[in-house]
Amino acid sequence: MAIFTGAGVAIVTPFKDNLEVDYNKLEQFIDYQVENGTDSIIICGTTGEASTLTHEEHLECIRVAVNRVNKRIPVIAGTGSNCTETAKYLSKEACKAGVDGLLLVTPYYNKATQKGLVEHFSDVAHSVDAPILLYNVPGRTGCNLAAKTTATLVNQVENIVGIKEASGNMSQIAEIMLLTEGKIDLYSGNDDQILPLLSLGGKGVISVLSNIAPKDTHDIVAKYMAGDQKGSLELQLKYLPLIKELFCEVNPIPVKKAVELAGFMSGTMRKPLTEMEPENAQHLEKEMKAVGIL
């Protein structure tokens, strides 16, 4: 059984003006997501600015998420690293906190060969009991997880059960489904490709858009799964202009501005991320108004 089906939010991490993590705002935002149809909380991923959290903050965000959700929906923790031992440490601690699954990104900067990726993910997976989603986002990591490698991991490691695919390479994604005979939980890592991945047998999306449009993002998947492909397509296309603006600067700069515009929290980020360019922020606000968020 999949960890979740539908739209999981790649949730932002709120910061106070002094750049401390605002755990109270995080709890409030988690409640908002759960109450508005989000199917899973993905905490401490790319959108959650995990790369600038200390290990202590990272793990505390995970604990807060697990406790606040309180089993209402699954919680998946981002615990990947470009250091295998660090990924093992974060994964073990996240499991102690009670997460329902782990999201492991490919090693970044130092990267790895395909053989190295098999060993890295296998080592981390064997150190825990939780189900694991691989995360392929070569545009950020400089490291692509090949379809054959994904299939090897899914077939050889029992608790590697799925993948968040954000390569944008539909041919590669189709090959993953072919080589695994569909025995993998596939999630889109790109909000503009939810419907195409569902058509290949996907289970849903791990979404940036869900931060500000949780119900409709959920409905893109729910409608498709219920046989309403037309309704799903209409929603997917409706949100394409807003999705474009959410990625007009490096994620999560635009979505942090979006949650601020929507009144959820301060859009404060930790450097090296900086304030959104004013012209881009105006376009973002316009598209948020166009779909009725503002």
pLDDT confidence of 183, banded at 50, 70, 90? very high
Percent of the chain with pLDDT over 70: 100
Task: Burial-class residue 134 by CB neighbours within 10 Å (0-12, 13-18, 19+).
Answer: buried
- Contact at 8 Å (CB) between 258 and 268? no
Q: Are 231 and 215 in contact (CB under 8 A)?
A: no
Answering whether pTM is above 0.95, one says yes
pLDDT tens per residue, range 131-157: 999 999 999 999 999 999 999 999 999
The whole-number average pLDDT for the span 67-84 is 98
Is the pLDDT at 1 greater than 90? The verdict is: no
Place 169 in a pLDDT band, splitting at 50, 70 and 90. very high
Q: What tens digit of pLDDT does each residue of 8-66 get? A: 999 999 999 999 999 999 999 999 999 999 999 999 999 999 999 999 999 999 999 99
- Let me know: does 17 contact 218? Beta carbons within 8 Å: no
Model pLDDT, residue 149: 98
* 109 included as an active-site residue: no
HEC profile of 70-122: CCCCCEEEECCCCCHHHHHHHHHHHHHHCCCEEEEECCCCCCCCHHHHHHHHH
| Average pLDDT of every residue of the chain | 98
Structural domains in the chain plus CATH codes: 6-231 (3.20.20.70)
Known catalytic membership, residue 239: no
pLDDT at 232: 98
Query: What is the mean predicted confidence (pLDDT) over 228-238?
Result: 98
Q: Please, which pLDDT band fits residue 224 given cuts at 50, 70 and 90?
A: very high
Compute the distance between CA of residue 115 and CA of residue 92 in angstroms, rounded to an integer: 23
Q: 162 pairs with which residues across the strands? A: 133, 185
Which residue among the candidates 135, 187, 224, 239 is catalytic per the annotation? 135
Percent of the chain with pLDDT over 90: 100
Give the 3-state secondary structure of the chain: CCCCCEEEEECCCCECCCCCECHHHHHHHHHHHHHCCCCEEEECCCCCCHHHCCHHHHHHHHHHHHHHHCCCCCEEEECCCCCHHHHHHHHHHHHHHCCCEEEEECCCCCCCCHHHHHHHHHHHHHCCCCCEEEEECHHHHCCCCCHHHHHHHHHHCCCEEEEEECCCCHHHHHHHHHHCCCCCEEEECCHHHHHHHHHCCCCEEEECHHHCCHHHHHHHHHHHHCCCHHHHHHHHHHCHHHHHHHCCCCCCHHHHHHHHHCCCCCCCCCCCCCCCCHHHHHHHHHHHHHCCCC
Distance CA 104, CA 292 (A): 34
Q: Which of 164, 223, 256, 257 is catalytic?
A: 164
